[in-house]
Structure 1
Amino acid sequence: MIDVREILESAEMDEVIRAVDALRKRFSLRPIYQAEHEWPVALARVGRFRADVVLAILLSEEKYYPGYKEVLAAAFGGWLIVPRYAKLREALMMHAAVDFMEKAVASSGNDEPLTIKKDVLARYLFIGPEFLVEIFDCLGGYRAFADMPSFDELWGDIEYVEKTIITAARAIAYLHHAVDRFARPGFQFVPSLNKAVSVFDELKKKERGYPFKEKYVSRSLLHQRWSQNKQTLALLYAASSIQINRKTLLQLLLDGFFSYEDHGRYLHKWIGRARYVSDHIFSKMSDAELGLKTRRLLGDGPMMAFRPPKLDEMEVASFDECFRSYIK
């Protein structure tokens, strides 16, 4: 039987470690990264998900080891969709980790047969021991990754959430239109969820001409999402306003395709718009907790103004009916 301890403590092993350290010192492609940092699993899996800390890391210019922000961005996307569903968040972290490792292996030349040299290159230079220890091993190692569920498997259990999120984003769009038109000197206008719901109620009356049930959820589900996940609302609406190719950032989140590598460059625009939602809309509402939770998550920083989405003909008619007392 092989004595593992003897191998680990052998002179040959010491020589291997010295060689790997020398390789990393000479050829490492990574920039100098933060020596002091919290492990991703501590941020995303231990206790309450620390969304404000994760978001601050994603927005920062600080350099971390490769894969660090990729995995945290996946966790943040999962939390934003379903804050209380840790299983989805963890699955997205695993998929992000696998994607990162596959790209690292490809970078070492996967068009040729695997060799020990290529394995060392991929594992210790392109992936790195920090990633292997703090992410791969802490997420469960080989067994956990072999058994990880797909996004579709998990999302199938909570498919109604997507429609609820879209409804919440549209409700904020109605309030955005209302604030732009009526929250100015000469008008005593206080935006509220009930005012947005009244637009939905008008659309329901047009049931034969408007596919309300296909697009939106009931008042009770909307109120539930709004009251239980207030800190996510500005981000969801802001994401719906950002077009990336033929989809919105919100749809990419809902489809499980949000990634730091592909969409990290949109982060400052996204958060800037979310801060604008908080200041331009939420600060005018009577629900002080909504603004407080949003500001606590987004932190201080620049705002980025944007226009609300265009309403279709029936939405315009419903909006005008609900806000006719303000229309001069």
Structure 2
Amino acid sequence: MDEIGDLLESEELKAAVAAIEALQMKMRGGDLAAPSVRSLAFGQTFQAKEVLQVLRSGQPGHFGQKDILAAGLSAWLLFPKKMGIRMAWMTHAMLDHMDDAELKVGFAEHPWSLPRDLLARYILTGSSFLGDVYGEFGGYQAFGRSTASDVLDEIIANDVKTIRTIVRVMAYLHYAADTYRKNPDTWRKPSMNRAIEVLRAVRQKEMERHKATSVNRKTPNYTYLSRSVLLDRWTSGRGTLALLYAANRLSVGKRSLLDVLVSGTFSYRHHGHLIHQWLQMAQYVSDHIFALLDDHAKKNRQRLTTFTRKLIGDVAALSFSPVFMRKEERRIIEASFFK
């Protein structure tokens, strides 16, 4: 231990540290002050509002910080009660950041060398990242604790089905809200209970159509999520609903942002430019749909809109249309919501 202490105090090591710090200053202009990842994303309570503020800010943060927080945000939005999934997705984002740094310095094409290792670890990965993220995740122990992606997919499968069902129900609410605002005298206000009944009727039609067109094939199991399951997610996920539905209507190439979130690949680097539009669309969900809900007391309606506002901040609403629906679906909605 004395030998280690001597090395830590040696002039050679001090000179090496000074040289690395000079390179860091040249690369980034010095460390940037930002809230720690631990203070925002660790523990049972995820500081979603503060994380969104960091992601929206013009400050770049330290290398990798916003990608780690974006991974935590996506897990919290989808699975707000599952801290283990959140930590697993952030761990994967951490390892991706470190792997990217090694690829940038050419480790895939060249043998290991000390200059490349120093550049990858202390300049591109960064001392702030190593202290704020890598060290807080347990260093090398994080590699051993990391859960494989295919295992995570199995764990979250039922939750994803619930989320996609809730999003489908919200599309019916969106359609009803659009029509009510145009025809308030002949159309009922959007109602979660009525939307769930629409879903039940649509699923029944799907099953009947499959039976009618199938020959010697087993009818698929059109699992109908119970009202209690849907209402539980509706109640427990108040703060996430507007963002989830808006994500389903925001295109990322040939996919939706919700598809990206569910795949666990949402990152600031690739999707940060969409965040402002996403929040604007979520505000529209709150103003256009939540504010009209008929089967909620005024107090509960205000809760939904207030939770959304507190989470996303003060942004202007950006309108968008509901997903295209088949004629059969539209007929079922109209039969349920027409006075």
TM normalised by structure 2 equals 0.89
Residue 17 (structure 1) aligned with residue 17 (structure 2): yes
- C-alpha separation between the residues in 2 aligned to 1:71 and 1:153? 20
What is the distance in 1 between the residues matched to 2:325 and 2:220? 14
What is the CA-CA distance between 1:32 and the residue it aligns to?
6.1
Structure 1 residue 224, shift from structure 2 partner: 1.1
Distance (whole Å) between structure 2 residues aligned to residue 318 and residue 258 of structure 1: 35
- Structure 1 distance, partners of 2:32, 2:290, is 35
Identity %: 35
Contact 1:183–1:189 under 8 Å retained in 2:
no
Give the partner amino acid of 1:68.
Q
SS in 2 for 1:83: coil
- Structure 2 unaligned regions, length at least 5: 211-218
Q: Report the Cα offset of residue 23 of structure 1.
A: 2.2
The one of 31, 37, 46 aligned to 1:49: 46
- Between the aligned partners of 2:189 and 2:93, the Cα distance in structure 1 is 42
Q: 1:226 is paired with a residue of what secondary structure?
A: helix
In 2, Cα distance between the equivalents of 1:142 and 1:16?
23
One-letter amino acid matched to 1:22:
A
Q: Residues 203 and 222 of structure 2 are in contact (CA less than 8 Å); yes or no, is this contact kept in structure 1?
A: no
Superimposed CA distance per residue, residues 249-280 of structure 1 (whole angstroms, 9 cap, x where no aligned partner)? 11111121212112112111111101110111
Letter in 2 for 1:41: R
Q: 1:205 to 1:108 in 2, by over 3 A?
A: closer
Partner of 1:195: 194
Matches of 1:218 and 1:245, distance apart in 2: 33
Number of positions where the alignment pairs a residue of Structure 1 with one of Structure 2: 322
Contact 1:91–1:151 under 8 Å retained in 2:
no
**Counterpart of 1:38?**
35
Pairing 1:159–2:174 present = no
CA offsets 1:29-53 (integer angstroms, 9 cap, x no match): x366642x21112211134111111
Find 2:120's aligned residue among 119, 122, 125.
Answer: 122
> How far apart, in 2, do the equivalents of 1:209 and 1:275 lie?
37
| Structure 2 match to 1:63 | 60
Offset of residue 124 of structure 1: 1.5
Is residue 226 from structure 1 mapped to residue 225 from structure 2 by the alignment? no
Tell me, in whole angstroms, the C-alpha distance in 2 between the residues paired with 1:189 and 1:278. Answer: 18
Q: Confirm or deny: 8 A CA contact 1:166 1:216 kept in the other structure.
A: no
1:179 to 177, 180, 186: 177
List gaps (5 residues or longer) in structure 1: none
What do you get for the CA RMSD once the two structures are aligned? 2.0
Paired residues of 1:163 and 1:215 also in contact (CA < 8 A): no
**Could you tell me which residue of structure 2 aligns to residue 275 of structure 1?**
283
Please say if residues 167 and 215 of structure 1, whose CA atoms lie closer than 8 Å, have aligned partners that are also in contact: no
Decide which of 270, 290, 305 is 1:262's aligned counterpart. Answer: 270
1:163–1:216 Cα contact (<8 Å) kept: no
SS in 2 for 1:209: helix
The Cα shift of 1:192 comes to 2.1
Name the SS of the counterpart of 2:322 in structure 1: coil
